[in-house]
A = this chain, B = another copy of it.
Amino acid sequence: MLNPADADFLTALPQALLRPVRPSDVEEPRGRWQGQGRAVACPQSAEDVAALIRAARAARVGLVPLGGGTGLVGGQILTDGPAPLILSLERMTALRAVYPQENALVADAGAVLADVQAAAETVDRLFPLTLASQGSARIGGLLATNAGGVNVLRYGNARDLVLGIEAVLADGSILRGLKRLRKDNAGYDLRHLLIGSEGTLGVITAASLKLFPRPAAEGAAFLVVESPEAALALLALAQDRLPGMISAFELIHRQGLEFLAETMPQVRQPFATRPEWMVLVDLGLPLGIDPEAALSGLYEAAGNLVQDGVIAASAAQRAEFWALREAIPAANRKIGAVSSHDISLPLSEIPVFLQQAGPLLARIGQFRVNCFGHLGDGNLHYNVFPMPGRTRADHENQREAVKTCVHDLVHGLGGSVSAEHGVGRLKVGDLERYGDPVKLATMRAIKQALDPDGILNPGAVLRG
């Protein structure tokens, strides 16, 4: 059992590293939970982090690492049990070095994603991790949760963008792994173990990140398709014609467009009649291939796979297309979901899932479903909303049934109920229900070996 981070514990810490708790430290974007904590520690170096962890371990006090606070599964929020020390990386924002010739950049874990993107752009390179929260999400949190986003199809998940990490482990030792090597088979890959462990095995303090050439030209189109099957066929066609050039392939359902019309009428919609399904195709192209020509070529080759389309005629219009896509989660929040699901499926099972999920949900009640997301990665956000005139509060007693219905179906089709958001505290029970028991036992053995007192992000991923 852990002890609370009480006055005695806090008094013994270096006071210069502490600040009071602000409301934003203990809230999360969907407003589901209220966290707790009496103080926030703001280290300025890996050595500071190590000292704080050693103090916490000696006192058996839990530590909750905090990045930008944009996580959607409560990994940054401890709602009950002994009050933890919140460990914010907000003062460790340095971009330590940029190596344009090596396509590498070394950043402190508190660096905000948008700042890393901008630093890469300054040297004519691309750091491709892209998601709606990039203006506040910090590198440490993005790696701890192995963030996804819209460019995974082309560049991979966050873990695929990392050459090396520096992290502080539960005994206060500092793992110095900031190498800038493309190949390094010198022992177990602890980088990938820590990435995605959501702060339960160590606190990432810095990372060396991969940069990429910036595409010579970019382009985007909204293309109307009849069904998810047609969208998948279009994806295969696009990959054949434009291999390695498709940066994103996003599925959007009419429900999302209707929520936008209802809650954010200022967002311009691309088609006079809102289509049942459409995709946003985004291209990054080398010299010599024209985006509009590539997209109109795809449109023509698609034949009756595509019913209508609009190709961005300028960078401004492409930005407008993306603004619509990125506004969908905000509109969803204004409507208020009964239950949100961050799922992934083998690509060929997506149509099966979508055919079966609706009828299964109808047995529970009447809902509106907004299904959208990263079709190219098999990652959908399948979010269930009340009918007009009702609110999420009206469905409070159905939330668990809705979630279980969706997750059981996903699991039965070989999918994951945590595609890109992670487990956090929201899905600890799901992991126990759906996770391979051998995987869970192995995770617990590793957690026990590396953090025997359970001080690092207690209750996240694994039950404490």
- Encode contact with B along A94-113: 1 for CB under 8 Å, 0 otherwise: 00000101101000000000
Size category, A interface: 35 or more
With beta carbons under 8 angstroms apart, the residue of B186, B374, B417 that contacts A417 is B186
With beta carbons under 8 angstroms apart, the residue of B159, B185, B196, B347 that contacts A102 is B347
Question: Which A residues, 181 to 224, have Cβ-Cβ distances below 8 Å to chain B?
Answer: 181-190, 192-193, 195-197, 201, 212-213, 215
A414 at the B interface (CB under 8 A): yes
With beta carbons under 8 angstroms apart, the residue of B190, B244, B442 that contacts A190 is B442
Known: A187-B423, A288-B289, A416-B186. A99 touches B179 (CB 8 A): no
The answer to whether B245 and A184 touch across the interface, beta carbons within 8 angstroms, is: no
Question: Which A residues, 431 to 461, have Cβ-Cβ distances below 8 Å to chain B?
Answer: 431, 434-436, 438-443, 445-446, 448-450, 461
The answer to whether B443 and A188 touch across the interface, beta carbons within 8 angstroms, is: yes
Most buried by B among A184, A240, A374, A419: A184
A345 at the B interface (CB under 8 A): yes
Question: Which A residues, 137 to 183, have Cβ-Cβ distances below 8 Å to chain B?
Answer: 145-146, 148, 152-153, 156-157, 159-160, 169, 173-177, 179-183
Known: A101-B347, A418-B186. A177 touches B374 (CB 8 A): no
The answer to whether A344 and B183 touch across the interface, beta carbons within 8 angstroms, is: yes
**Residues of chain B lying within 8 A (CB to CB) of residue A179:** 346, 414-416
Most buried by B among A102, A104, A450: A102
With beta carbons under 8 angstroms apart, the residue of B148, B189, B434, B443 that contacts A159 is B189
A30 at the B interface (CB under 8 A): no
The answer to whether A421 and B185 touch across the interface, beta carbons within 8 angstroms, is: yes
A236 at the B interface (CB under 8 A): yes
**Residues of chain B lying within 8 A (CB to CB) of residue A43:** none
The answer to whether B423 and A185 touch across the interface, beta carbons within 8 angstroms, is: yes
The answer to whether B186 and A197 touch across the interface, beta carbons within 8 angstroms, is: no
**Residues of chain B lying within 8 A (CB to CB) of residue A287:** 241
The answer to whether A180 and B346 touch across the interface, beta carbons within 8 angstroms, is: yes
How many of these chains are in the complex?
Answer: 2
**Residues of chain B lying within 8 A (CB to CB) of residue A102:** 346-348
A251 at the B interface (CB under 8 A): no
- Encode contact with B along A375-392: 1 for CB under 8 Å, 0 otherwise: 011110000000000000
The answer to whether A418 and B188 touch across the interface, beta carbons within 8 angstroms, is: no
A358 at the B interface (CB under 8 A): no
A324 at the B interface (CB under 8 A): no
With beta carbons under 8 angstroms apart, the residue of B215, B346, B374, B439 that contacts A187 is B439
Kindly report which residue of chain B lies nearest to residue A297, judged by CB atoms. B288
A286 at the B interface (CB under 8 A): yes
The answer to whether A346 and B99 touch across the interface, beta carbons within 8 angstroms, is: yes
Cα A436 to Cα B320 with chains together (Å): 48
Cα A215 to Cα B148 with chains together (Å): 27
The answer to whether B439 and A177 touch across the interface, beta carbons within 8 angstroms, is: yes
Interface residues, chain A, with chain B CB atoms under 8 Å away: 99, 101-102, 104, 145-146, 148, 152-153, 156-157, 159-160, 169, 173-177, 179-190, 192-193, 195-197, 201, 212-213, 215, 232, 236, 239-245, 286-289, 344-348, 374, 376-379, 414-423, 427, 430-431, 434-436, 438-443, 445-446, 448-450, 461
Please provide the 9 A-B residue pairs with the shortest distance between their CB atoms, ordered closest to farther.
Answer: A192-B192, A449-B449, A184-B416, A182-B377, A183-B419, A186-B418, A244-B244, A213-B243, A180-B346
Other A-B contacts than A183-B420, A186-B417, 19 sampled, CB-CB below 8 A, are: A101-B347, A145-B185, A148-B183, A157-B183, A173-B438, A177-B439, A181-B414, A185-B419, A186-B423, A187-B440, A188-B196, A188-B201, A188-B439, A188-B446, A192-B192, A192-B193, A245-B286, A442-B450, A445-B449
